Amino acid sequence: MFCGSSNALLPHIAISNRTTHREGLSNEGTVNLGLFGNGSLRVPSQHIFWHLNRLSTSIGRKVEHDISVRTALEDTSTMIIVEEEIENLGIFEVDPDLKEYKDHFAYRWNRYLEQKTLIEKYEGGLDEFSKGYMKFGFNREEGAIIYREWAPGAQEAQVIGDFNGWDGSKHLMEKDQFGVWSIRIPDLEGQSVIPHNSRVKFRFKDCNGVWVDRIPAWIRYATVDPNQFAAPYDGVYWDPPPSERYVFKHPQPPKPESPRIYEAHVGMSGQELRVSTYREFADNVLPRIKANNYNTVQLMAIMEHSYYASFGYHVTNFFAASSRSGSPEDLKYLVDKAHGLGLRVLMDVVHSHASNNVTDGLNGFDVGQSAQESYFHTGERGYHKLWDSRLFNYGNWEVLRFLLSNLRYWLEEFKFDGFRFDGVTSMLYHHHGINVGFSGNYAEYFSFNTDVDAIMYLMLANDLVHRVVPDVTVVAEDVSGMPALCRPVSEGGVGFDYRLAMAIPDRWIDLLKNRSDCDWSMNEIVSSLANRRYTEKCVAYAESHDQAIVGDKTVAFLLMDKEMYTGMSDLEPASPLIDRGIALQKMIHFVTMALGGEGYLNFMGNEFGHPEWIDFPREGNNWSYDKCRRQWDLVDTDHLRYKYMNAFDRAMNLLDEKFSFLSSTKQIVSSASEEDKVIVFERGDLIFVFNFHPENTYEGYKVGCDLPGTYRVALDSDAFEFGGKGRVGHDVDHFTEPEGIPGKPETNFNNRPNSFKILSPPRTCVVYYRVNEDAETKDELETLGVMPGQLEPSIEE
């Protein structure tokens, strides 16, 4: 299906006979950096050739496809493809094989420029266009409330609420030629007619003459009666007096070299069997996050969603902070407190789909009108069959205004530092990734299946947010591995800063469920972790909320299962199962962090091996909150072993804080021995050694390195404070020896010019740093707690 709404270019496709599969790729379809991570880019030898026919167009002409039609005036003056500009797009320098799809990139680049030029022409630019929340919805203007709502499908409209006894006969709205209804409600005796925190709704007559009540699309707060089962939500007019408005006290922290992200759900963040609040999270959980040396918090389920068990992904009210956890002012308190702790705050933003809830959500504005007059596509294109939700019409003018303004609203009103875009794969393709595997063949990304309208929106969105907040961080949840997704818009990319490395947790779950760790392949682990596109950054994670949703388990629970209920006391010796579980929990998370990307993410509680799974209150579990909370007492109880996993999580984050290995482009895997079950690699200036063997201790084990000198332990998972056995000496100097002939890698040891020998116990990971003879690095590390320091006599000593 043709995916653009522009009538400038129509793609014609011819299939090349070079269609052999690429091998060695995960389902992310990305390019393997290779064992030596030298920055070379392996690209496929097969593609589909694109040919775009440039068609003459005129004002008013429409492309007769099942596509969206923008509400802006059709204007061919914006068809501004410049051949030289396309030839010089930066993405072709990064990946020359993309030139084979130059016509595709030319089409979408022109689509982006065309839309941006139209916005500049008719709205005064992207900056003004994205301030829609200052015009639509309820706003104060010169002694009155002005309410505007885009509802072209409505025949008549009123505003109703507590303020007029839900009788809108005296508050009729007027409609302009663009389908925007509006009303001015003057103040009465200097006071707002609609009181702050009072309920309001938009009442309109649909095309069948039926009056319906809906929550305003741009409402900033929505509440529900908690005492009434399945009660409908109400829109709430939110305009607190100055004395009740939260005033931000702290500046936004600067963008870190690499994000170490703590993914959290406010509602389930407490220990008690209930929904937790924004202020409780700020006061009780943020200090834990800071103590574990994360620099970024990612908040789920902030946008209002009537169904709690949707995890916040079936959004009903896009401009409203979820009222389950408090008011908008309470959320501002949370963000500001995080900033005061030096933590940046990202928000899960869901622009890939919307709840199909008619009563409470945006879907209620769809009353059978055409796609040009709706937020959503019509027919099958407007419905996601797996998610049971509605799909946006990204080619529609007012949809663009709504979504772009939504991003700006959260950035400016709540001071969020960026976003994690949910469901990006679904946006990028007409098939939404349903029953589709991605092998890495470039034809999978650039074809009729590509939704160019959605890509155009994402380019505009990333362009906008990087202008509004230059230090913004934007992460894409994409499993397909689309090339150029994480390259700047100015280069012809989609503009994200990072992509979630979604294949990594799937690989760990597969290994944990289907193979004994004795049978794990070191090369498969390395390939899964290093399998990403050069120059496009990834956020790696071993597990997130997805891996623990009802029906599955956390990594720790997969490793130790029911023995976690009885075997976690440190007052008695650990069983072999617990020993193995804690050791592998640490190793899995750390190797994922160290080798898997340029950022790292951990879901709330997994840092200390939270047991069991996540299950929101629902009829099937008798509306229980037992699995919808975090049991902080497990890690706070000194005689329980959870503290060891938490301490190691804190230490590995601090290691990156001091050595910045995540942001380093130097990533070299020198050895992945299947016989030894050992992985050795360099990241930045550090040497990482992971021994996955269940039994073998290697004394005098030779590891390759780049620079000569003296190396010492920086971090050791086997240290006593991490629940280990203290077998590695931390006061031992490891002196390098040259390997082979200088300048001839083939004569080196594992292609490294130097080496040193170490002790490597089973199921441990040890990191070594090169001693700077001019600085007291060791003392500094001991003071900071990165290196455990002198513990007890060890085997190596």
Residues in Cβ contact with 10 at an 8 Å cutoff, skipping those fewer than 6 apart:
2, 52, 53, 55, 63
- Of the candidates 422, 579, 607, 682, the residue annotated as catalytic is 422
**How open is the CA angle 258-422-394, to the nearest 5 degrees?**
120
Note whether 643 and 666 are within 8 A (CB).
no
CA–CA separation, 598 and 655 (whole Å)? 14
Q: Is 128 left (phi over 0), alpha (psi -120 to 50) or beta?
A: alpha
Q: Tell me the helix, strand and coil percentages in the chain, rounded to 5.
A: 30, 20, 45
* Residue 549: C-alpha distances to residues 56, 585, 624 (Å): 52, 19, 15
Beta strands 734-735; 599-603: pairing state = unpaired
- CA 511, CA 507: separation in Å to the nearest integer? 6
- Helix ranges (H only) for 283-439 are 286-291, 328-340, 397-414, 424-428
Half-sphere exposure of 548 (CA within 13 A, CB side): 27
- Quote the CA–CA distance of 555 and 306 in Å, as a whole number: 30
Catalytic residue among 114, 451, 477, 656: 477
Euclidean distance between CA atoms 692 and 241, whole angstroms? 60
| Interatomic CA distance for residues 682 and 767, integer angstroms | 10
Opening angle at CA 15, ends 503 and 433, nearest 5: 30
* 477 carries an active-site annotation: yes
C-alpha distances (whole Å) from 498 to each of 258, 460, 485, 547 are 10, 17, 9, 20
C-alpha to C-alpha distance for 26 and 479, rounded to whole angstroms: 10
- CB atoms inside a 10 Å sphere around CB 139: 15
Catalytic residue ranges: 422, 477
